[in-house]
Amino acid sequence: MLNGKAAERKISVETVQRVLAAAKDVNYTPNALARGLRQKKTHAIGVVFPHLRNDWAHLIMRGVVEELGASETVPMIVCHHGDAELEARLLRSLVERRVDGIICNPLRNGMDRYRDVVRRGVPLIFLGDAPKGLDEIPCSAWDPAAVHLAVEHLLALGHRRIVYLGSRDNRVISEARRHVFWDSLRQAGLSPSRRDIILSSTSEDVGDGPLELLRGENPPTAFFVEYDDQAVSLYQLLDDAGVACPRNVSIATMGGSPRSVSAGCCLTTVSAPVVDEGRACAQRLMSMIDEPEHKPERAYVHGGSLLVGQTTGPVANSKPGSRGTP
Amino acid sequence: MLNGKAAERKISVETVQRVLAAAKDVNYTPNALARGLRQKKTHAIGVVFPHLRNDWAHLIMRGVVEELGASETVPMIVCHHGDAELEARLLRSLVERRVDGIICNPLRNGMDRYRDVVRRGVPLIFLGDAPKGLDEIPCSAWDPAAVHLAVEHLLALGHRRIVYLGSRDNRVISEARRHVFWDSLRQAGLSPSRRDIILSSTSEDVGDGPLELLRGENPPTAFFVEYDDQAVSLYQLLDDAGVACPRNVSIATMGGSPRSVSAGCCLTTVSAPVVDEGRACAQRLMSMIDEPEHKPERAYVHGGSLLVGQTTGPVANSKPGSRGTP
DNA sequence: ATGAAAGCGCTAACAT
DNA sequence: ATGTTAGCGCTTTCAT
List pLDDT tens digits, range A42-80.
999 999 999 998 889 999 999 999 999 888 999 999 999
Report the pLDDT value the prediction gives residue A240, as an integer from 0 to 100. 85
Task: Classify residue A6: in a domain, yes or no.
Answer: no
Task: Classify residue B136: in a domain, yes or no.
Answer: yes
Nucleotide nearest to B28 (CA to C1'): C9
CA of A48 vs C1' of D10, distance in Å? 29
Task: Classify residue A16: in a domain, yes or no.
Answer: no
Q: Which residue is nearest to nucleotide C9 (CA to C1')?
A: B34
Report the pLDDT value the prediction gives residue B26, as an integer from 0 to 100. 75
Give the whole-number percent of chain B exceeding pLDDT 90.
58
CA of A38 vs C1' of C6, distance in Å? 12
What is the Cα–Cα distance from B95 to B87, expressed in whole angstroms? 12
A39 beta carbon to strand D: under 7 Å = yes
Candidates B31, B58, B76; nearest CB to A53: B58
Contact B225, B254 (CB under 8 A): yes
- One domain for residues A162 and A262: yes
Contacts of A232 (CB under 8 A, 6+ apart): A264, A265, A267
Average pLDDT of chain A is 86
Q: Which chain A residue has the Cα nearest residue B61? A: A79
Q: Residue B279: is its pLDDT beyond 70?
A: yes
A1 beta carbon to strand D: under 7 Å = no
Nucleotide nearest to A35 (CA to C1'): D10
- One domain for residues B41 and B115: yes
Cβ distance A27 to B119 less than 8 Å, yes or no, reads yes
Task: Classify residue B23: in a domain, yes or no.
Answer: no
What are B125-135's pLDDT values in tens digits? 999 999 999 99
Average pLDDT of chain B is 86
- One domain for residues B314 and B210: yes
Candidates A37, A58, A77; nearest CB to B33: A37
Residue B325 CB coordination number (10 Å):
10
What are B77-98's pLDDT values in tens digits? 999 999 999 999 999 999 999 9
Pairwise pLDDT comparison (B49 vs B263), residue with the higher score: B49
Task: Classify residue B49: in a domain, yes or no.
Answer: yes
- One domain for residues B210 and B310: yes
What are A179-220's pLDDT values in tens digits? 999 999 999 999 888 888 998 887 677 777 888 888 888 889
Give the whole-number percent of chain B exceeding pLDDT 70.
86
- One domain for residues A176 and A200: yes
Q: Residue A15: is its pLDDT beyond 70?
A: no
Q: Which residue is nearest to nucleotide C7 (CA to C1')?
A: A38
- Determine the average pLDDT of the residues in B7-33: 68
Report the pLDDT value the prediction gives residue A146, as an integer from 0 to 100. 95
Report the pLDDT value the prediction gives residue B14, as an integer from 0 to 100. 56
- One domain for residues A172 and A117: no
- Determine the average pLDDT of the residues in B165-180: 91
HEC letters along chain B: CCCCCCCCCCCCHHHHHHHHHHHHHCCCCCCHHHHHHHHCCCCEEEEEECCCCCCHHHHHHHHHHHHHCCCCCEEEEEECCCCHHHHHHHHHHHHHCCCCEEEECCCCCCHHHHHHHHHCCCCEEEECCCECCCCCCCEEEECHHHHHHHHHHHHHCCCCCEEEEEECCCEHHHHHHHHHHHHHHHHCCCCCCHHHEEEECCCCCCCCHHHHHHHCCCCCCEEEECCHHHHHHHHHHHHHCCCCHHHHCEEEEECCCHHHHHHCCCCEEECCCHHHHHHHHHHHHHHHHHCCCCCCCCEEECCCCEECCCCCCCCCCCCCCCCCCC
Q: Which domain holds residue A115?
A: 35-141+275-301
Q: Residue A324: is its pLDDT beyond 60?
A: no
B241 beta carbon to strand D: under 7 Å = no
What are B111-152's pLDDT values in tens digits? 999 999 999 999 999 999 999 999 999 999 999 999 999 999
Identify the three-state secondary structure at position A129: coil
- One domain for residues A200 and A312: yes
Q: Which whole-number Å values give the CA distances from B134 to B51, B130, B201, B297, B298, in the listed order? A: 22, 7, 21, 11, 11
For residue A176, the domain's CATH number is 3.40.50.2300
Task: Classify residue B288: in a domain, yes or no.
Answer: yes
Q: Report the phi/psi class of residue A81: left, alpha or beta, with left for phi > 0 and alpha for psi in -120 to 50.
A: left
- One domain for residues B311 and B178: yes
Q: At what angle do helices A111-119 and A84-96 cross, to 10 degrees?
A: 0
Quote the number of domains for chain A: 2
Q: Contacts of strand C, CB cut-off 7 Å?
A: A 9, 34, 37-38, 40; B 3, 29-31, 34-35, 37-39
All residues of chain B having their beta carbon less than 8 Å from the beta carbon of residue A97 are 32-33, 42, 44
Identify the three-state secondary structure at position A159: coil
* Residue length of chain B: 326
Report the pLDDT value the prediction gives residue B239, as an integer from 0 to 100. 83
Task: Classify residue B56: in a domain, yes or no.
Answer: yes
Task: Classify residue B325: in a domain, yes or no.
Answer: no
Nucleotides of C under 7 A from a protein CB: 2, 7-12
- One domain for residues A208 and A311: yes
Q: Residue A31: is its pLDDT beyond 90?
A: yes
- One domain for residues B172 and B311: yes
pLDDT band at residue A19 under the 50/70/90 scheme: low
- One domain for residues B251 and B280: no
Q: Residue B7: is its pLDDT beyond 80?
A: no
- One domain for residues B157 and B133: no
Residue A259, classified by CB atoms within 10 Å of its CB into exposed (0-12), middle (13-18) or buried (19+), is middle
Q: Which whole-number Å values give the CA distances from B188 to A299, B178, B184, B326, in the listed order? A: 63, 16, 6, 9
